[in-house]
Amino acid sequence: MSEATCPHRPPCPGCPRLGQRGIAPEAMDALTLVAARAGLPEPVVHEGSPWSFRRRAKLAVRGRSTSPKLGIFQADSHRIVDMPRCPIHHPLINRVAQEVRAGIRETGLAPYADRPHRGLLRYVQIAVDDSGTRAQLAVVTNDRSPESMDPLATQLRDRLGDALQGLWWNGNPERTNSIFGPHWAHLAGDKRLELEVGGVRIHVPPGAFAQNHGQLFERLVERVRSLVPNQVRVREFYAGTGPIGLGLADRCRAVEFNEVDPHALVGLATGLAQLPPEARSRCRVLPGRAGECLDDLESVDIAIVDPPRKGLDPELIEALCAGAVPQLVYVSCGWRSFETESALLSEAGLLLRSLEAYAMFPYTEHVEIVAHFARAAT
């Protein structure tokens, strides 16, 4: 497949392996070695749709009010690549981005400029619901209050109509590379994006993390849940809005959710409130850092972890290696940290029983991993 398949390459750096199937060779080699050391075959790689799969995107807003650009930065720079026809984005993401461009031209609001720290519009985040017909839109401005984007908010409501699931403002007035700032306001539509994952409804505020490859994430969640026996006590660390654990509440003795992000905790609370009363009574939320939520871990039958790419909190990996739980399901989006930590777990007696990969981030070096560890007597 040639680079001409994408009209934005070069210079767009977003898909360095565009057109290549599977996962990056370096990641595959590392995971194959991890599996071989455990006496397992080469990991199975699960793949999904190669095009239009991405249902969630953060796009920088730069350029001028007369010719705004929405896209991602070129490598090692703040020069933006405008992406009106990204082939991996869901078509509704491209449409919403196009309406944002048109709204900027109509209102004359200035896109942000990094070096002088001037201009209003910094980023947008667009997330598409299950139907593929409605989108949650968050607009990040260089301001502490949302009034300055009122003209654009009016334009977007008019232009998008029923396709606008929810509209949010975020204020990020500081010189920073962080996308979101500390200030939030809900402007229109629904407060949370509602998605179905494995038969359970989850609720995602714009500040909470969610996977962008819905089709493949559904398969991953089904696999994780299949590794959890009935009538056990489960503790899920880094639970997010609960896409894995909420689906276990109807058949497990107890499900404990650990999460530190306040936005994810809001979404998780909404999902828990919608469970049947009996299932909800078996659930408990442990807010805070994973490494600070280790009390009574020895009475847990199986732990589920889904940490960021840097890996597990030091206190948590120490507790797991010390024998706190008999079984562990590790969901990893960072194969390098997983390679290191899987060796530590195996040396401590939590043996790798199964390993598979999910090409959740096609055309990049990143991969999602599902691994099952169990002690020899389990």
Catalytic residue among 12, 86, 252, 333: 333
140 three-class SS: strand
Q: Are 26 and 357 in contact (CB under 8 A)?
A: no
Burial class (CB in 10 A: 0-12, 13-18, 19+), 313: buried
Q: At 346, which amino acid appears?
A: S
333 is an active site residue: yes
Q: Using CA atoms, how far apart are residues 81 and 14, in angstroms rounded to an integer?
A: 10
Q: What phi and psi, each to the nearest 5 degrees, are found at residue 16?
A: -65, -20
Residues 129-163 as b or e (16 or more Cβ within 10 Å = b): beeeebbbbbbbbbbeebebbeebbebbeebbeee
Q: How far is CA 82 from CA 7, 71, 153, 240, 311, in A?
A: 10, 5, 22, 31, 33
Q: How far is CA 358 from CA 126, 178, 198, 333, in A?
A: 23, 27, 17, 9
Residues 252-286 as b or e (16 or more Cβ within 10 Å = b): bebbbbbbbbebbbbbbebbbeebeeebeebbebb
Q: Are 166 and 136 in contact (CB under 8 A)?
A: yes
Q: Are 354 and 377 in contact (CB under 8 A)?
A: no
**Residue holding tokens 């869901």?**
90
148: its two tokens? 């300055």
The residues pairing with 305 across neighbouring beta strands, listed in sequence order, are 237, 330
Residues labelled catalytic: 333
